[in-house]
Structure 1
Amino acid sequence: MTAARKAYGVLALGCYAPKKVVPNAHYAAYLDTSDEWIRSRSGIAERRHAAENETASVLGIEAVKTMLARQPDALAGVDLIVCATSSPDAMFPSTAALIAGGVGLRGVAAFDVSVACSGFVYALSVAHSMLSAEAAKKVLVVGSEVMSRVVDQADRSTAILFGDGAGCAVLGEVPAGYGFQAFSMGADSSGGPNLYLRGNADQLPDGPQMGPYLTQNGREVFKFAVRIMGDMTEDVLKKAGLGVADIDYLVPHQANIRIIEAACERFGLPLERAVVNLEKYGNTSAASIPLALCEAVQAGKIRRGDQLVLAGFGGGLSWAAAALKWY
């Protein structure tokens, strides 16, 4: 007789945002923009910027600390850390390893995932796969970013959109009927020149010369995001054997309120069923979904038994969605 397949879901959550609040008025003072212009085109009112001594690992450690303040035993049994970041402290040691050392898990397996704004859902999928293969017993997944350091603060097209923050989740076994049901992921490098951050190359293959900061073709990324949000949500629901009517909450990447509105319109979902907090934090890349999820759970908006879809998209170009029955 075949043993019943184990279910894996989220056992604990934490999130952290730096103390420095940067309102739209900050940019209106020296860029050709205004609070009304930024709000109307993005839905963002303010964002957070890391202090000089705050790196991606520091923000990640702080997010874990907030989790431990609520659930002191949350890290018990964790034997793997996966950190999603596109603004790491260093190429190595990994930000995940630095977080491990900072939260008392030195010696556990640790590595980073670099898929920009899709990174947290990618990392959840990796963690789920490791758990399902019994290669890990509990996994700490972190999304942490200091985007303010990789964005040109004199570039109106990007500076106003991005902020810093971190979120984390511990994944482990949950009762049958709960947990992750399906994932949908993909990437298309042909769209890479529309959203990139330079590494060791001066240019992308068949792409433009690159500067030292994040560069974005806003119009093309917007068109991609609106399309892929719908496509990957449909795909992950199909894989999970669910329909749009089954969704209690959509937890999308917090890039632009217009993209979220377009996704809700496509599926006939009221905007109230999308978890949105970008007005406070802007686009925090890989940290945006865990920040939004954590705040919604702590506020009592998301409760046990709710059907969620987490959906991220961004640099790569990349995308990732997860269907999750909340436990």
Structure 2
Amino acid sequence: MTVTRAVVRGVGHYLPDRIVPNAEFEQRLETSDEWIRSRTGIERRHFAAEGQLTSDLAIRAAQAALADAGMDVERIDAIVLATSTPDYTFPSVATMVQAGLGLTHGFAFDVQAVCAGFVFAMANANGMILSGQAKCVLVIGAETFSRIMDWEDRGTCVLFGDGAGALILEAEQGMGTSADRGILSSDLNSDGRYKDLLHVDGGVSSTGTAGHLRMQGNAVFRHAVEKLASTAHTALDKAGLSSGDVDWIVPHQANLRIISATAQRMQVPMERVVVTVQDHGNTSAASIPLALSVGKQRGQIHEGDLIVTEAIGGGLTWGSVVLRW
């Protein structure tokens, strides 16, 4: 029996020109390159230029994904964009990307699940493809977290960077087995009781300001390791697979210690984990598509590889997607 699968057609990313090494923070904070590296694995990150918007980054990433797919934009039926740093309260960043790409048909909307946003966006795109709502969906994660940093808080401002990544999913018929290409399963979760662990202290209906990011790092670390391994195992179970079947884990790039601890719990060696956090920092919803794109460019990811993506973000929100490239 054949089934519809959402298969990856192309992937791409974009990073702003400005590269910020750890040493730059030594000039204004009580920190050091060694301190940041040893606790996070981060060596550098990119910051958007003045006037450069989240939508600008997203459009560039989308164009790169279209080029990778060898696809004309007219084939795109829908855009699902994950971000916590939109250009405006409304309209959505997705509609601005739609206009920027010259796409005048279909529909576009944003998803907000913070660092887990791209996983949620992929699951939404998959659902629309399986239901027949869309045939070809452009899924984007894009962030300008440098705009919501408290530059006096050394525990947070050194962690984040700006960037965007994009993935094109298109309907294809499979045999309904775990050998099919495309998204095989997903697992989404949230628990609003933990909102104070990772949040931004501003908003339209509260302070009327953008606010700054606040995080209880130790608590987030504990939740991350447990929840990321758990959601990955759940998604693999749904697909009838196990950790031993995984070719690559492509995790949310928040912290090297979280990535390593999660891989250990999943019994997957670090040699099978795509790691980009050293070069990009935490780019929130952009980190997974960025890592997928970089992993393909490096020659790590190949057609037929089984990939697990997993992420956790403010909310708390967490989830995973299992797909065969």
Q: Into which bin does the TM-score normalised by the smaller protein fall?
A: over 0.9
Q: CA RMSD in A?
A: 1.5
2:8 counterpart SS class: strand
| Residue 300 of structure 1, CA deviation | 1.5
Equivalent of residue 195 in structure 2, options 192, 195, 199: 192
Equivalent of residue 126 in structure 2, options 116, 125, 128: 128
- Structure 1 residue 170 corresponds to structure 2 residue 168: yes
Residue in 1 aligned with 2:310? 311
Aligned equivalents of 1:4, 1:191: Cα separation in 2:
42
Residue in 2 aligned with 1:182? 185
- Structure 1 residue 65 corresponds to structure 2 residue 74: no
Aligned equivalents of 1:223, 1:81: Cα separation in 2:
34
Aligned equivalents of 2:73, 2:30: Cα separation in 1:
47
Asked if 2 retains the 8 angstrom alpha-carbon contact of 1:194 and 1:217, the reply is: yes
- Structure 1 residue 152 corresponds to structure 2 residue 150: yes
| Residue 175 of structure 1, CA deviation | 4.9
Aligned equivalents of 1:74, 1:45: Cα separation in 2:
37
Task: Summarize deviations over 1:218-257 as a string: whole Å, max 9, x none.
Answer: 1111111011111101111111100110011000000000
Aligned equivalents of 1:69, 1:200: Cα separation in 2:
37
Task: Summarize deviations over 1:137-184 as a string: whole Å, max 9, x none.
Answer: 111111000000011122111110000000001110235211111100
Q: Tell me how many residue pairs correspond in the alignment.
A: 318
Task: Summarize deviations over 1:103-127 as a string: whole Å, max 9, x none.
Answer: 1113430110000000001000000
- Structure 1 residue 238 corresponds to structure 2 residue 237: yes
Aligned equivalents of 1:21, 1:113: Cα separation in 2:
27
1:157 counterpart SS class: coil
Unaligned runs of 5+ in 2: 175-179
Unaligned runs of 5+ in 1: 204-209
- Structure 1 residue 321 corresponds to structure 2 residue 324: no
Question: After alignment, is 146-155 or 41-50 more displaced?
Answer: 146-155
Aligned equivalents of 1:295, 1:38: Cα separation in 2:
23
Aligned equivalents of 1:84, 1:77: Cα separation in 2:
21
Aligned equivalents of 1:70, 1:265: Cα separation in 2:
33
Aligned equivalents of 1:67, 1:250: Cα separation in 2:
21
Task: Summarize deviations over 1:180-227 as a string: whole Å, max 9, x none.
Answer: 111001000111001012323549xxxxxx992011111111111011
TM-score (norm 2): 0.95
Aligned equivalents of 2:127, 2:173: Cα separation in 1:
17
Equivalent of residue 141 in structure 2, options 140, 143, 146: 143
**Residue 107 to residue 6, structure 1, CA distance change in 2 (3 Å):** closer
The amino acid that maps onto 2:203 is G
Aligned equivalents of 1:211, 1:100: Cα separation in 2:
25
Residue in 1 aligned with 2:26? 28
| Residue 68 of structure 1, CA deviation | 3.4
Asked if 2 retains the 8 angstrom alpha-carbon contact of 1:100 and 1:108, the reply is: no
| Residue 70 of structure 1, CA deviation | 3.5
Asked if 1 retains the 8 angstrom alpha-carbon contact of 2:40 and 2:257, the reply is: yes
Equivalent of residue 83 in structure 1, options 69, 73, 81: 81
Aligned equivalents of 2:63, 2:30: Cα separation in 1:
39
The amino acid that maps onto 2:146 is S
Residue in 1 aligned with 2:297? 298
Residue in 2 aligned with 1:281? 280
2:89 counterpart SS class: coil
Question: After alignment, is 242-251 or 148-157 more displaced?
Answer: 148-157
Residue in 2 aligned with 1:12? 10
Alignment of 1:211-290 (within 5 A): 212-290=211-289
Question: Identity of aligned pairs, percent?
Answer: 42
| Residue 61 of structure 1, CA deviation | 0.5
Asked if 1 retains the 8 angstrom alpha-carbon contact of 2:249 and 2:274, the reply is: yes
1:159 counterpart SS class: coil
Residue in 2 aligned with 1:207? none
| Residue 28 of structure 1, CA deviation | 1.1
Asked if 2 retains the 8 angstrom alpha-carbon contact of 1:74 and 1:170, the reply is: no
Asked if 1 retains the 8 angstrom alpha-carbon contact of 2:66 and 2:168, the reply is: no
